[in-house]
Amino acid sequence: MLLNADLSMRALVHAANLDWVSSPAKGVERRMLFRIGEEKARATSIVRYAPGSHFARHSHAGGEEFLVLEGTFQDETGDFPAGTYVRNPPGTGHAPGAEAGCTIFVKLWQFRRDDRERIVRRPGEGVSGDLRPGVVTSLELFSGADERVVFEEWGAGATIELPNPKGLELLVLAGDCSDGSEALDGWTWLRLPAGQGLHVRAGPQGTRVWYKLAPLLHADVCDFT
């Protein structure tokens, strides 16, 4: 399967409008945003766990990065409530599930081979960032491996500009914004290739986003074939 596979092109998906697609695990469904491959794939998705659902234990040879959007995600290492950001580097594994149900935003097989640091940021954890014009709060979740991952809140009606020298991915978590031609509402995913800066205006209630500044595909990314 190839979905938004041309990394030289802008991609935008209103994920809240997509149908849920069943996964191999009972009660676990996905909304696919980016995919190269079949069940074993380099992929970015929103994944929903029904209450009591789980995956059998498996490894992440190419790494796994996720953000808990709703509910509480669980595995052998603990419980991860909404707002938690986790990086499980290549070679790690777990048996994930959710007794009460949860929804996560997850990226697979997109780590550099030498990225071996596990990161867990609980809600509110991180490093406070500089406040650009229009930015109310900025919290850096991760910086390293040629990547920078951030939570930000944008003020109501604020004009937001973000340079993009490497590549950018953004997920709208709450509120909305507009790039002048299209509205980006809750769970809208945007990917911009290097050199295409972000220029948006926050909606009347402000906007809360997760974003990553990084090469869209590392030169030494883990091979999933």
pLDDT digits over 69-97, tens only?
999 999 999 999 999 999 999 988 899 99
Strand partners, 207: 154, 175
Three-point CA angle 2, 213, 186, nearest 5° = 70
Nearest to 126 by CA among 141, 137, 138, 145: 141
- DSSP codes joined into one string, 72-95: EEEETTEEEETT-EEEE-TTEEE-
Contact 82, 67 (CB under 8 A): no
Separation of alpha carbons 171 and 184, rounded Å = 9
Contact 185, 177 (CB under 8 A): no
* pLDDT tens per residue, range 32-58: 999 999 888 899 999 999 999 998 888
Separation of alpha carbons 87 and 121, rounded Å = 9
Q: How many other C-beta atoms can be found within 10 angstroms of the C-beta atom of residue 186?
A: 16
- How high is the pLDDT of residue 99? 97
pLDDT at 219 over 80: no
* pLDDT tens per residue, range 96-118: 999 999 999 999 999 988 988 99
Q: How far is CA 210 from the centre of its chain?
A: 7
Nearest to 179 by CA among 154, 164, 196, 198: 198
Separation of alpha carbons 49 and 102, rounded Å = 5
Pairing relation of β-strands 97-98 and 53-54? antiparallel
Per-residue confidence at 225, pLDDT binned at 50, 70, 90? Answer: low
Element spanning 170, H or E: strand 167-178
pLDDT at 168 over 70: yes
Cβ partners under 8 Å of residue 219, min gap 6: none
Task: Judge residue 88's burial from the number of C-beta atoms within 10 Å of its C-beta, 0-12 exposed, 13-18 middle, 19 or more buried.
Answer: buried
- How high is the pLDDT of residue 9? 96
Single pTM value for the model: 0.96
The overall average pLDDT reported for the chain is 95
Per-residue confidence at 218, pLDDT binned at 50, 70, 90? Answer: confident
